[in-house]
Amino acid sequence: MDTGNLQAFIKIAETQSFSMAAEQLYLTQPAVSKRIKQLEEQFGSKLVDRNGKHIHLTQTGQALLPMARQILNNLQHARQQIADLEGNPMGSLKMATSHHIGLHRLPPILRAYNGQYPEVDLDLHFMDSEQACQMIEKNELDMAVVTLPFDSSARLKYVPIWQDHLVISCASEHPLATLPSPTLNDLVKHPAVLPSHGTFTRDAIEKALANVIGDLKINLETNYLETIKMMVSVGLGWSILPTNMLDSGLIRLNMPGFNASRQLGIVLNKNRSRSKATNAMIDLLKTSE
């Protein structure tokens, strides 16, 4: 069986689009259609239904999808083990990170890694920390460098690398900035711009604000801290951000009783064997503590 056919099938299942699958695989759309046809002929069953612009897997396709992923994972694992026998890290490293860590923490580490291990094909994906943890749990990634959850997991291993301190901030012209001694209870009088509910960062913030009297007025929620920083800098609300994001456009509000932080670090699947390429990245990250 041609693994390229399985790759095309998985991409179509993920994107629900022949054109997007073709774009991500660097193929033409007819080439992707041909691969699906070949796969359907091999199994003697229709795998993908097209209804106008809508695409969905048939019952047979849905049954094949997890097995197709496992086949490709097993092949990649076999290639990696063979590559590791050669000595130096090589092969591929499929890794995820959050946008914030990718912008503010990883660049020097990635630069050093590429310089030391040029034979490793670094497959880097940017996504929310919560999604990355789910993909690690499903064994779809080698590792992730993200905000760590508070809750432990039977399948995941967390390796803390950075302690990210969070501070209350606002624009210099915001009403909170004019108060001589602002308190946590003053926050409820003004709209906030916060990370989305259910994110690991929002969990850290809610724990820190557990003693605030009254409900917060949430003006906007988003997963992107850079967007929050911009909204706060133009006066659309106060927020709680990592200290390394503060600049001349924002001021820090020191309030008694407020102490918030989040752990940034590595997430691994406890049941997935680690390649030399993965271990080399882990070692570099640990030296950056």
Whether 168 is covered by a domain: the verdict is yes
Please tell me the total count of domains within the chain: 2
Whether 224 is covered by a domain: the verdict is yes
Mean pLDDT, all residues of the chain: 89
**CA-angle at 19, arms to 17 and 20, nearest 5°:** 70
The residue among 51, 85, 119 that closes a domain is 85
Examine the pLDDT at 152 and tell me if it is beyond 90: no
Would you state the pLDDT for residue 26? 85
Three-class SS of 41-86 = HHHCCCCEEEECCEEEECHHHHHHHHHHHHHHHHHHHHHHHHHHCC
Whether 180 is covered by a domain: the verdict is yes
Kindly report the CATH number assigned to the domain that includes residue 247.
Answer: 3.40.190.10
Whether 149 is covered by a domain: the verdict is no
Structure tokens, 231: 């909204």
Would you state the pLDDT for residue 87? 63
121 within 8 A of 92, measured Cβ to Cβ: yes
Q: What is the pLDDT of residues 101-146, one digit of tens each?
A: 999 999 999 999 999 999 899 999 999 999 999 999 988 899 999 9
Would you state the pLDDT for residue 84? 65
Whether 105 is covered by a domain: the verdict is no
**Averaged pLDDT for residues 236-245:** 93
Whether 159 is covered by a domain: the verdict is no
Examine the pLDDT at 169 and tell me if it is beyond 80: yes
Whether 141 is covered by a domain: the verdict is no
Whether the predicted model's global pTM rises above the 0.95 cut: no
Would you state the pLDDT for residue 105? 93
Range of the domain at 234: 164-261
Examine the pLDDT at 90 and tell me if it is beyond 80: no
Would you state the pLDDT for residue 289? 62
Q: What is the pLDDT of residues 202-233, one digit of tens each?
A: 999 988 888 776 788 898 999 899 999 999 99
Kindly report the CATH number assigned to the domain that includes residue 17.
Answer: 1.10.10.10
Whether 23 is covered by a domain: the verdict is yes
Query: Residue 143's CB: how many other CB atoms inside 10 A?
Result: 27
The residue among 85, 119, 148 that closes a domain is 85
How long, in residues, is the chain?
A: 289
**Averaged pLDDT for residues 171-198:** 91
Same-domain check for residues 170 and 257 = yes
